[in-house]
Amino acid sequence: MGKTAESVWKNCLKFVKDNIQEQAFETWFSPIQPIKLNENILTIQVPSKFFYEWLEEHYIKLLKIALQKELGKDAKLVYSIVMDQKYSGKDPYTVRIPSSNKEKLQPQEIDAPLPIDSKKVKNPFVIPGLQKIKIDSQLNTSNNFSNFIEGETNRLARSAGKAVAKRPGGTSFNPLFIYGGVGLGKTHLAHAIGLEAKENHPDKTVLYVSTEKFTQQFIDAVQSNNRNDFIHFYQMIDILIIDDVQFLSGKKGTQEAFFHIFNHLHQKGNQIILTSDKPPVDIQDMEQRLISRFKWGLSADLQVPDYETRFAILKHKVEKDGIEIPEEVIDHIAKSIKTNVRELEGCLNSIIAQATLNKKEITLELTQKTLANFINHTRKEISIDYIQRLVCDYFKIPFEQIQSKTRKRDVVQARQLAMFFAKKYTKASLSSIGSQIGKRDHATVLHACKTVKNLSETDKVFRGYVEDLNRKIGVE
Ligand code: ADP
Ligand code: MG
């Protein structure tokens, strides 16, 4: 009397809990619901077929002992499996399968959302039973901390990363959200954290995955009806690193799965590390509940490196590669390339390539030549603002004047030249040029273009201005 499915299951759980590791218990037993007790038959609900197979393969002996203690020698177990049909448009339904009570199930082929390419794997966790799961962390060992040069512009992100690697899940930096523009070291730092965390905590499972790969795995899992398995797999990771989460934008299904994974991991105190090309608030088409979770921990940005950091990165790289380069060359590259670390490295590589191919020494002269090509190639589009500043600079006129209403002759001339070059070098419309240069209308711009053309045909001095400016805009 008084026995219910709940009470029987509760006692079983107590027994199981004492006999397996906590994480395994959390993963495989917490999600189970007792449903029905019919004399000596207990029905439990499990979230997926994969779950049932896993229990049967690894825990059936334990379950049998626990159940017999509760319900006697003839105790039987029935699984009710939730079949997730959400994505094929049907409602979920359950199937009932009595426990085989066999010593061991035949090994089955399971499509598990593994971070490795082969899709057909016997079981995803390699080591069966009560031990910890073993997976390939997908970390690139060359992206480590000793290669990641510290500077003013990455100090916060780097030291937060170090702290997380020391005590994953144990700091308030959970999630650690690293953001910054392209080529500023997000991926490198993410790997470095993973590598160091693994070194400090060999017992923890670390997994790096790009958002593209994560999304693809999710789509595959849904198509093969393994959505729950996908989620469970990721929910078992101790330190999860997801790169470029801005690519989750607009992907509702993947966002939802990620939400469940995030919550589970965060609740268990597991570490989550995310990178993105923009801060959480600026990510478009992302569920609000995710954005707010991104902000729970620490958001740290990587900024464009300053000269000192650029210099140090280049110096580190040439020393590591054992290449002899004069300091003035490193100085020149560090001064010329200000965009990001990837371009800095690209530029250094092309100088090394030039020198090697032509069997020349790396000199300042060779560097300047190579750089001129490099910069011309990667030139940004010329902006109206840039043109105005160049013209002002040329005529030594303050920038405010060209923007003002003044009709002073030299300013009018400068303004007209700026309009002429804006028309020549940008795709902006006449009215857009007018509104950006002293708030004039399109007719004024048209008039300016005609005037410049006429004057440069008749006035030699004026023609000199046009040629000078043309060269400057085209070359600098
Ligand atoms: P992101 O993921 O932000 O686009 P990456 O991590 O791929 O940028 O970095 C681009 C390149 O710059 C990589 O080769 C990386 O090793 C290098 N890099 C970035 N930051 C640093 C740094 N602080 N020290 C050394 N190398 C760096
Ligand atoms: Mg990256």
Q: Which residue has the higher pLDDT, 414 or 375?
A: 414
More confident residue, 57 or 356: 356
Would 127 be classed as within a structural domain? Answer: no
Compute the distance from residue 316 Cα to the ligand 1 centre, in Å.
Answer: 13
| Ligand nearest to the backbone CA of 347 | 1
Would 286 be classed as within a structural domain?
yes
Place of tokens 């078992």: 236
411 lines ligand 1 (CB under 6 A): no
Q: From CA 74, how far away is CA 389, in angstroms rounded?
A: 89
Is 333 found in the same domain as 293?
Answer: no
User: Is residue 93 classed as helix, strand or coil in its secondary structure?
Assistant: strand
Asked whether 313 lines ligand 1 (CB < 6 A), one says yes
49 lines ligand 1 (CB under 6 A): no
pLDDT at res. 475: 54
* Domain closes at, from 267, 302, 337: 302
CA of 183 to the centre of ligand 2 (A): 7
Residue 92: is it exposed, middle or buried by C-beta count within 10 angstroms (0-12/13-18/19+)?
exposed
Confidence check: pLDDT of 101 > 90: no
d(CA 198, CA 181) in angstroms, rounded, equals 27
Indicate the top mutation candidate among 143, 210, 341, 349 to test ligand 1's pocket, ranked by most ligand atoms within 8 A of CB: 341
How confident is the model over 395-409, as a mean pLDDT?
91
pLDDT digits (tens, 9 = 90+) for 292-323: 999 999 999 999 999 999 999 999 999 988 88
Residue 108 lies in a domain: no
| Residue range(s) defining the domain that contains residue 87 | 5-98
Does residue 289 sit in the same domain as residue 344? no
Q: What is the pLDDT of residue 84?
A: 54
Residue 57 lies in a domain: yes
Determine whether the shortest distance from the Cβ of 204 to ligand 1 is under 6 A: no
Based on the fold, state whether residues 244 and 206 are members of the same structural domain.
Answer: yes
pLDDT tens string 419-450: 999 998 888 889 889 999 988 999 999 999 99
Is there an atom of ligand 1 within 6 Å of 345 CB?
A: yes
pLDDT in tens, 349-385: 989 888 888 888 899 998 988 888 776 555 556 788 8
60, 144, 254, 348 from 345: Cα distances, Å:
56, 17, 34, 5
Q: What is the mean pLDDT of residues 234-249?
A: 95
Q: Is the pLDDT of residue 124 over 50?
A: no
| CATH classification of the domain holding 421 | 1.10.1750.10
| Distance of alpha carbon 305 from alpha carbon 313, whole angstroms | 10
Phi, psi of 271 (to 5 degrees): -85, 135
Helical packing angle, 442-458 and 409-425, nearest 10°: 100
- Same domain for 268 and 228, yes or no, is yes
Tell whether 293 and 315 lie within a shared domain. Answer: no
Kindly report the CATH number assigned to the domain that includes residue 162.
3.40.50.300
CA of 310 to the centre of ligand 2 (A): 18
154 lines ligand 1 (CB under 6 A): yes
pLDDT at 400 over 70: yes
Residue scoring higher pLDDT (191 or 132): 191
CA of 274 to the centre of ligand 2 (A): 11
Q: Which residue's CA lies nearest to atom 5 of ligand 1?
A: 185
Q: Which residues pair with 353 in a beta bridge?
A: none
Q: Which amino acid is at 161?
A: G
259 Cα to the center of ligand 1, angstroms: 28
Residues 6+ apart with CB under 8 A from 363: 326, 329
pLDDT of residue 442: 92
pLDDT, residue 95, reads 63
Residue 209 shares a structural domain with residue 260: yes
Could you tell me if 36 and 183 lie in one domain? no
Is position 334 within any domain? Answer: yes
Do 320 and 298 fall into the same domain? no
Which atom in ligand 1 lies closest to the alpha carbon of residue 341? 12
pLDDT at residue 23, as a whole number: 73
Pocket test for ligand 1, best of 188, 189, 301, 316 (most atoms within 8 A of CB): 188
- pLDDT reported for residue 426: 84
How far is it, in rounded angstroms, from Cα 73 to Cα 379?
80
Instruction: Check residue 121 and give its pLDDT.
Output: 33
- Residue 208 pLDDT exceeds 50: yes
CB 294 within 8 A of CB 274: yes
- Residue 165 Cβ contacting ligand 1 at under 6 Å: no
Q: Is residue 227 located within the same domain as residue 294?
A: yes
Q: Evaluate whether residue 53 is within a structural domain.
A: yes
pLDDT band for 282, please (50, 70, 90 cuts): confident
Supply the pLDDT for residue 129. 39
Write the DSSP assignment of 143-181 as a string of letters: S-STTS---TTTHHHHHHHHHHHHSTTTSS--SEEEE-S
Residues 193 and 290 in one domain: yes
Q: Which two tokens stand for residue 261?
A: 């994974």
pLDDT at 82: 72
Does some domain include residue 182? yes
* 152 in contact with ligand 1, CB cutoff 6 A: no
Domains held by the chain: number: 4
| Domain end call among 302, 335, 350 | 302
- For the stretch 452-461, what's the b/e string if a residue is b when 16 or more beta carbons lie within 10 angstroms of its beta carbon? beebbeeeee
* Range ranked top by mean pLDDT from 110-114, 150-154, 381-385: 150-154
Contact 84, 48 (CB under 8 A): yes
Domain CATH code at residue 333: 1.10.8.60
What would the mean pLDDT of 225-254 be, rounded to a whole number? Answer: 94
pLDDT of residue 355: 86
**Based on the domain organization, do 227 and 274 belong to the same domain?**
yes
Tens-place pLDDT, residues 154-185:
999 999 999 999 999 998 899 999 999 989 99
pLDDT for 267: 92
Residue 127 scores a pLDDT above 60: no
Are 229 and 368 in the same domain? no
**Can you give the pLDDT at residue 379?**
53
State which of 302, 335, 359 marks the end of a domain: 302
Could you give phi then psi for residue 220, rounded to 5 degrees? -60, -45
> In degrees rounded to 5, what are phi and psi of residue 239?
-130, 105
Q: Read off the pLDDT of residues 265-278 as tens digits, 9 standing for 90 and up.
A: 999 999 999 999 99
Lowest mean pLDDT among 13-22, 49-58, 99-108, 330-339: 99-108
Mean pLDDT, the chain, integer: 85
> What integer is the mean pLDDT of 387-396?
92
CATH of the domain at 42: 3.30.300.180
Q: Specify if 405 maps to a domain.
A: yes
**Of the listed ranges 103-107, 227-231, 438-442, the one predicted with least confidence:** 103-107
